[in-house]
Chain A
Amino acid sequence: MIAVEGLRKRYGRRVALDQVDFAVPQGEIFGFLGPNGAGKTTTIRILATLTPPDSGTATIGGVRIDREPFAVRRLIGYMPDFFGVYDRLTVVEYLDFYASCYDVPARRRRRVASELLELVDLSARAGDQVDTLSRGMKQRLCLARALIHNPQVLLLDEPASGLDPRARMEMQELIRELRRMGKTILVSSHIVPEVEELCTWIGVIDGGKIVEIGPKADVLRRAAVGRRLRIELVDADEAATARARALIAAWPGVLGVEDGASGLEAAVDAGLPAHRLLRELIQAGFDVGAFTPVELDLSDVFLRLTEQPEEARQ
């Protein structure tokens, strides 16, 4: 549904995007993950036809954004990371205004607005002025606004930023519901747990480059190459622990050993025969209480993928 090839964008001497390629299948929630300044918003603005790329192409629903921007605008609903609302307009008038901006027929606007307000749970505030709503309500109203013309694709730039935990969960539930309605959703965020909970596909961008992309499970599995083992020794004093650390570190395939929260943690190659290391430890006289792989979550993946020094990202 969304396809991006070779996008490059430069602001003065700073490279914002460098050969960005990715594709998002229809009906997926694509989590666009990256640290601040990685290029998420620039990519979304290009997809929203607000910023032209220096080179590269992007299509949404098969329509090229550079050739038919107005056709693309009918396909997308865009929610920017920072947005304001109009003063002295009621919630219904606010939606009615955007409905007319998208040529929704006048006789249907009120009904569409009413249905959307029900969807985002703002029906009770329909007659209130928009600027009196809380931040979470404004976020939901902005999402309703993005849906006013029934777009196939939603581009949501940090949709849950600044929300309290309840409002964030409500927003996530809303996004899941929109996926069930068949929408393809691109959500940018730098909050890893949020993306991990919500998204079905993940793309990690750093320094303007895509460093990992794919279905969430695949991304986690690929990132697990070079896994970690947690080794707990029973009744081991400092000297015994030091001997065990040395033994493990000398084992072929072990990349490093450090003290973990409840024992030693060893970074090892994926091909390491862990059972032989366990047997060696036992034969050496260590009383091994636990010998388990450490489960990687998306936070580990994110940190690992984006751990290059700051200057390398410039």
Chain B
Amino acid sequence: MSVAGEAREVVAPEPSEPGSGGHAPGAVRALRRLVVNPLIVKDGLSRMRSWRAPAVIAVYLVMLGLFAWLAFSVQLGDGGVQRFYGFARVGSTVFTALAVVQLALVCLFTPGVAAGAISGERERQTLDVLLVSCVPSFSIVWGKLVASVAFIVLLILAALPLFAAVFLLGGIDASQFVVAQLVTMTTALTTGAVSLFLSALFRRTLAATVVAYGITFAATAGTWIVGTILTTAAAAQLRTGPPPAHPMLWFNPIHAILTALQGGSGSVPGLGRVTTVYYLATGQTGPNAPAIEPWHLTVLAQLVVVALGVIGTVWLLRERRGIFRGSASS
């Protein structure tokens, strides 16, 4: 053992200099923690060194690429002469299909990444040591959320060349391209926040993951299928043109992407230029009404869910941390 006398000067951190994050004012330190968060660095390093990270990226791109190839084959294959409406139509259809498949893959991968973020620390017996550190509960939650979603964002970015290639065919404008990616990212963020909350709520990662998949499926595919059926049923009854989308679809990301990319075609029930709620409140509708598109509502609702998920997870961590009633904030 080299526990000699020269080691006695060890471990004496100097008072922090301004901007170091050490003893900076609380607000500055809190802002720094949003960006320079030790958990983001640690989880990022740890995740990217695993064989799983490149494997997941490869599987994701292969699945997306295969689906794109399949979509092109269907559009341009046998009988394509009869069904060929021009590159723009092909581009629009393939892009929409790819965007929905990407959304499905994101919903598939995100709970797997985020639902073990906190329960994994507990199972690894590292959570207590983390909670005894000086990192505030919010920073722990924020770091875990960003680290989880960053990997999903990496998947989305890795698939951008594929989308760009389809985009070159036309049929989709830049704003639609951006909206599709934005809704996909906010869906990843929402799924991540909900999964993180479940990760703090359940002691075991398996339970958190199963429940996270259940909720994700119900909130995306479930509400979309039921909402579309109800909207179609309403359309059959009315027989006077497409009815407003069923409320179940208002906050649905699949519906948001479909209406953003294909809304003008009439094939997808949309909210039109104004939501029912807005119409009921103001009576304003028609071409002069504000353009509130389904993706606006979806993104707004998702951000609310993210905020609630983060607040809930912070609350659970504070409980776990044994924060005493009336004690300083953490």
Contact = CB atoms under 8 A, between A and B. Distances in A.
B324 A69 contact: yes
B134 interface: yes
A98 B65 CA distance: 41
Interface in A54-68: 65-68
Nearest to B32: A103
Contacts of A102: 13, 133-134
B22 A103 contact: yes
A74 B132 contact: no
Given A82-B125, A104-B13, A116-B11, A88 B3 contact: no
Interface stretch (B39-47, B218-226, B266-274, B293-301): B39-47
B247 to A, nearest CB: 43
B14 interface: yes
Contacts of B327: 66-69
Interface in B46-90: 46, 49-50
A130 to B, nearest CB: 10
A174 B45 CA distance: 31
Contacts of A49: 132, 321-322
A147 B10 CA distance: 9
A87 B124 CA distance: 10
A115 B11 contact: yes
B324 A115 contact: no
A125 to B, nearest CB: 13
B130 A101 contact: yes
B129 interface: yes
Interface string A205-237: 000000000000000000000000000000000
B12 A89 contact: no
B134 A121 contact: no
Contacts of A180: 8
Interface in A82-129: 82-89, 93, 97-98, 100-106, 108, 112, 115-116, 118-119, 121, 123
Q: How large is the interface on B (under 10, 10 to 19, 20 to 34, 35 or more residues)?
A: 35 or more
Given A80-B129, A84-B125, A89-B42, A103 B134 contact: yes
A269 interface: no
B2 A108 contact: no
B18 to A, nearest CB: 11
Question: B-side binding surface: helix, strand, loop or mixed?
Answer: loop
B242 interface: no
A64 B322 CA distance: 14
A112 B322 contact: no
A180 B6 CA distance: 12
Given A89-B45, A93-B45, A112-B10, A119 B132 contact: no
Contacts of B14: 105, 108
A84, A100, A103, A174 — most chain B CB neighbours (10 Å): A103
Nearest to A69: B327
Contacts of B233: none
Interface in B151-168: none
A97 B11 contact: no
Given A88-B50, A89-B45, A112-B10, A78 B129 contact: yes
19 contacts: A48-B132, A49-B132, A50-B131, A51-B322, A66-B327, A70-B328, A83-B128, A87-B46, A87-B50, A98-B129, A102-B13, A102-B133, A105-B22, A106-B20, A108-B13, A119-B7, A121-B2, A150-B11, A180-B8
Interface of A: 45-46, 48-52, 65-70, 73-74, 76, 78, 80, 82-89, 93, 97-98, 100-106, 108, 112, 115-116, 118-119, 121, 123, 145, 147-150, 170, 173-174, 177, 180-181
Given A93-B45, A98-B129, A118-B10, 5 more contacts: A84-B125, A101-B135, A103-B16, A115-B7, A116-B11
